[in-house]
Amino acid sequence: MKIGVAIFPGSNCDTDALHAVELIGATPVELWHADADLKNVDAIIVPGGFSYGDYLRPGAIARFDAVMGEVERFAREGGPVLGVCNGFQVLTEAHLLPGALLQNMSMRYVCRKVPVRVEATDTPWTANCGAGEEFSLPVAHNEGNYFADADTLARLEDEGRVVLRYLENPNGSANDIAGVCNEGRNVVGIMPHPERVSDNALGSDEGLKILRSVLVGAGV
């Protein structure tokens, strides 16, 4: 299985994501932002970082990059797309996911491990997890405070589209939301970084279980 990782100017978790892809036994593929070419990948990760320096708004400029047109097409066709942190922000800016990520309630950047619960397992990025399974995942962001209007939040909850929920909310997110999916359930955005907990040498490899989901979903 080939998993593409989009690389924007200012992405800084691209290498970590490519490394994690290798660790789950898939083939990592670099997708350069200026090239409208997905290189026949089977799934796409939009990684964390500060695309275009977070200037204007996190994700606001990256969404117009050439590669994003192809990512949008791929997503509409049902291809599995995972946005992590800045990638989540890019996907909301591109309207592939509802809502927006506001500045943390503390007005501070926050880098720590937080307990989260898997709320939906019927997505290509959580299929390998148990319903209600809990993980300790690192967050590292300044704008992770999930916001959507009341109707949208109600719809997300009703339709089971809250994929990941904080058990200790680090940023003020509405309904403790750590991740959501689109209507088609193939596009998922999460603030925590599974690629950062992908090696027991660093203390935990819980994140690999999440990332392996895409292999399960693809029947590999």
Closest CA to 49 of 36, 57, 58: 58
Q: Is 19 a catalytic residue?
A: no
Candidates 89-97, 106-114, 123-131, 211-219 — which segment interacts with another protein by CB under 8 A? Answer: 106-114
- Residue 27 and residue 110: Cα distance in Å, rounded? 31
Q: Which strands sit side by side in the sheet containing 2-7, from one edge to the other?
A: 27-32, 2-7, 43-46, 81-84, 187-190, 177-181, 162-166, 110-118, 134-141
Q: Which of 50, 125, 135, 166 binds another protein (CB under 8 A)?
A: 50
195 labelled catalytic: yes
Q: How far is the first Cα of the chain from the last one, in angstroms, to the nearest whole number? A: 8
Q: Based on CB atoms, which residue is closest to another protein, 10 or 160?
A: 10
Smaller CB separation from another protein, 102 or 218: 102
Choices 62-70, 104-112, 146-154, 155-163 (CB under 8 A): range interacting with another protein: 104-112
Establish whether 13 is a catalytic residue.
no
Residue from 36, 102, 105, 140 touching another protein (CB under 8 A): that is 140
Q: How far is CA 120 from CA 48, 124, 219, in A?
A: 22, 10, 19
Q: Chain centroid to CA 11: how far?
A: 13
Query: Which residue's structure tokens are 């690192």?
Result: 138
Question: Does 28 contact another protein by CB under 8 A?
Answer: no
State yes or no: residue 99 binds another protein (CB under 8 A): no
Catalytic residues: 85, 193, 195
Chain residues binding another protein by CB under 8 A are 9-10, 12-13, 15-16, 19, 49-50, 52-55, 108-112, 138, 140, 142, 193, 195-196, 198-199, 201-203
